[in-house]
Amino acid sequence: MPPPDPIPAPQAAPLIRPAAIGDAPYIHHLLEIYAAQGNLLPRTLSEIYRHLRDFFVIEIQGRVAACGALEIFTEDLGEVRSLVVDDQFKGRGFGRALVERIAAEARAIGLRRLMALTYVPGFFHKLGFTTVPKETLPEKVWSVCVKCYKFNNCDETAVLLELK
């Protein structure tokens, strides 16, 4: 009789947590990959350090598998930014989990609206966001977008979630 198949080791559950200082280089690495593909705007490592408190990460087996940030514009409006999932971890619901965590944080601090600029509006629609004209988000357009090299030819879609 052959020996029994070994029992596979259980996969560690993903942990969603605020980013720590040691996560910054890997967050930067993930963002560089997505920026090189044209899927988001680049951010310097210095920017990551300055905005580290905005970030949440998903850690699995001691490794950052995904990240996303909540940027606050006004007492009313926040934005989901820098949402990326490492290619090795795509399809596991990590993007959804991060957006849900960011939305929970936005609600907890009293924001009433959460927006994103995205190339994949369908993803956000599944989470309750609706497409809106960029012009309805002047807080974003005139504080961030105006500095972007794509300002006059922006090809991203604005989506918005009304927080309850």
pLDDT of residue 119: 84
Question: Would the pLDDT of 143 be above 90?
Answer: no
Assess if residue 6 is contained within a domain: no
Residues 6+ apart with CB under 8 A from 109: 72
> What is the rounded CA–CA span in Å between residue 126 and residue 138?
25
CA 69 vs. chain centroid, Å, equals 5
Range of the domain at 95: 15-162
pLDDT at residue 6 tops 80 = no
At residue 17, the pLDDT reads 97
Residue 8 lies in a domain: no
In a domain, 5, yes or no: no
Percent of the chain at pLDDT above 90? 63
What is the DSSP secondary-structure string of 10-47? PPPPPEEEE--GGGHHHHHHHHHHHHHTTSS----HHH
51 found inside a domain: yes
Per-residue pLDDT tens digits for 83-94: 999 999 999 999
Buried b (16+ CB within 10 A) or exposed e, 69-104: bbbebeeebbbbbbbbbbeebeeeebbebbbebbbe
How many structural domains compose the chain?
1
CA distance 113 to 115: 7
Domain annotation covers residue 144: yes
Lowest pLDDT segment from 23-27, 75-79, 129-133, 142-146: 142-146
Look at residue 142 in the predicted model and tell me its pLDDT.
43
Mean pLDDT throughout 62-85?
94
Where does the pLDDT of residue 156 fall: very low under 50, low under 70, confident under 90, or very high at 90 and above? confident
2 domain residue, yes or no: no
Give me the CATH number covering residue 131. 3.40.630.30
Residue at 77 is within a domain: yes
Q: Does the structure show a pLDDT above 80 at 151? A: no
- Which pLDDT tens digit goes with each residue over 97-139? 999 999 999 999 999 999 998 888 999 999 999 999 988 886 6
- Does residue 96 lie within any of the structural domains? yes
